[in-house]
Amino acid sequence: MDKAVKTSVGETLNFVGGEYRKSSSGKTFDNINPIDGSVASIVHEADATDVDAAVTAANEALNGEWGQMPLAKRLELVAAVADEINRRFDEFLEAEVADTGKPVSLASHIDIPRGAANFQIFADTMKNHHGEFYNSPTPDGTGAINYTSERPKGVIAVVCPWNLPLLLMTWKVGPALACGNTVVVKPSEETPQTASLLGEVMNIVGIPKGVYNVVNGFGPNSTGEFLVKHPNVDAITFTGETVTGEAIMQNAAVGMRDVSFELGGKNSSIVFADCDMNKAIEGTVRSVFANCGQVCLNTEKVFVERLIYDDFVARLKTEVEKMKPGLPGDDGTDMGPLVSQEHRKKVLSYYEAAVKEGATVVTGGGIPDMPDDLKDGSWIEPTIWTGLADDASPIIDEIFGPCCHIRPFDTEVEAIKLANDSKYGLACSIWTENLSRAHRVGPQMDVGLCWINCWFLRDLRTPFGGAKQSGIGREGGEYSLEFYLETSNVCVKL
């Protein structure tokens, strides 16, 4: 990819019934490139009429060719979407990088490959999926058989965040389509381009019109709210902030629509003195700072056993100070900007709060000095703090930026208690070479995902999701199918 910042400004249209459409109101908004504040694309904002057209198209497709299509053919098309994304890899990469500013090295290893894999894995999962069968005794001795029958749930609203736009959207659209549903996707207003581009892929592959629809816009009193309130939406899958999940859930309650929620986190790492220090440092650098701290799974609280605490803090500081922010395509770049100026304001408010609440700033804490052509980007320094109280706001709240607090602990019991002390329960990482400790501590973590001696290592068949206020339900493999299929029991008296 070109090393220069993308300068050509295109339009991001809605995709309804297999066609690209401008908004019926004529309203547009700017999609800003966070690298330099330039306009990456002009986005057409879908109003209630446009949302209604998308939901209607999705309903018609359910009752048309898509609904009648044999499973084998459907899965062949879903797998073909994966192949076509891979064929157009560079276009997806360019769009994702322009919207997010993330390094090409990251997007080309995680975002785009996973965008494709999410279709292939669920085509495979659905191919191997089977129902249940029971031979049941009856009082008269003749018996009965029971078997499950499954059908698509219907029209699924897919509401997405901006941090891993293609990955997180396809993580829902892949299984939804494999199960025979149709979707209306509402990408984040910050990162709309790859969802729109996926419409071209759907048409080229031959996915029937109306199966995949995209409506662009904002959340409250805008496209997102119109979509989740639409009475002909059968279920809602959402990834984003917990407070947004609460608002969506209230709307989902009307008509008793099912929800699948992947929400916020405040994730911990526990580093025991018996860890492999090199692995723990390398893993912690990734788990705190990957994607400029904008992964829901990122670590923001690090607990380190006192015996190795000083050494750990010093070594992490050395590694973090080597990190280089810069243009996405430059070889040396290992950190992009935050997604927007607005998000930077939020993260900086925590940088200020940390100092006010008594933190020692080990490194970072502000805005890096960038060259003139990048000054309008949303750059921020990777930051480490120590010395905060357990109830300080940067310890309690999800910040979603490249920062962490490091605190010492003395016993295993204390570390588990500190790490679990949160209203969130998404993920954690444990660093230890002691096998017994690993198996003892792992299951005690009050989270949906516990990594031992690793972070963000994914097998797409495993359950993914959060405990407490980090989510409702699980995604991945058969867990996704559970949400996207309506299961009935058929009981036959013999």
Q: Which is nearer to ligand NAD, 208 or 265 (CB)?
A: 265
Residues 6 or more apart from 77 whose CB is under 8 A from it?
Answer: 69, 205, 206, 207
Cα dist from 244 to 109, 469, 476, whole Å: 29, 12, 22
**CB of 173 within 8 A of CB of 158?**
yes
Q: Minimal distance in Å, beta carbon 114 to ligand NAD?
A: 13
Phi, psi (rounded to 5 degrees) for 248: -65, -40
Closest CA to 213 of 260, 151, 156, 152: 156
Give the residue numbers marked as catalytic. 262, 296
Q: Which is nearer to ligand NAD, 184 or 263 (CB)?
A: 263
Using CB positions, name the residue nearest to ligand 6OD.
296
Binding range to ligand NAD, per CB under 6 A, among 36-44, 97-105, 405-413, 463-471: 463-471
Total site size for ligand NAD, rule CB under 6 A? 32
Provide the binding-site residues for ligand 6OD, judged by CB under 6 A. 163-164, 168, 171, 295-297, 458, 464
70 near ligand NAD, judged by CB under 6 A? no
Binding mask 289-328 for ligand NAD (x = CB under 6 A): -------x--------------------------------
Residue-level length of the chain: 494
State the Cα torsion 357-387-285-420 to the nearest 10°.
-90
Q: Minimal distance in Å, beta carbon 222 to ligand NAD?
A: 7
**CB of 77 within 8 A of CB of 206?**
yes
Q: Minimal distance in Å, beta carbon 164 to ligand 6OD?
A: 5
398 near ligand NAD, judged by CB under 6 A? yes
189 near ligand NAD, judged by CB under 6 A? yes
Closest CA to 131 of 469, 478, 371, 440: 478
Q: Minimal distance in Å, beta carbon 296 to ligand 6OD?
A: 3
Phi, psi (rounded to 5 degrees) for 406: -115, 130
241 near ligand NAD, judged by CB under 6 A? yes
Residue 262 structure tokens: 């992947």
Among 224, 364, 402, 476, the residue binding ligand NAD under the rule CB under 6 A is: 224
397 near ligand NAD, judged by CB under 6 A? no
3-state DSSP call for residue 349?
Answer: helix
What is the rounded CA–CA span in Å between residue 91 and residue 104? 12
Q: Minimal distance in Å, beta carbon 290 to ligand NAD?
A: 13
**CB of 45 within 8 A of CB of 25?**
yes
Among 46, 55, 82, 160, the residue binding ligand NAD under the rule CB under 6 A is: 160
Q: Which residue in the block uniquely carries the two structure tokens 């927007």?
A: 340
**CB of 381 within 8 A of CB of 317?**
no
156 near ligand NAD, judged by CB under 6 A? no
Among 115, 152, 161, 477, the residue binding ligand NAD under the rule CB under 6 A is: 161
Pairing, β 155-159 against β 144-152: unpaired
Q: Minimal distance in Å, beta carbon 216 to ligand 6OD?
A: 21
Could you list the residues that contact ligand NAD (CB under 6 A)? 159-163, 168, 186, 188-189, 218-220, 224-225, 228, 239-241, 244, 247-248, 262-265, 296, 398, 400, 426, 466, 470-471
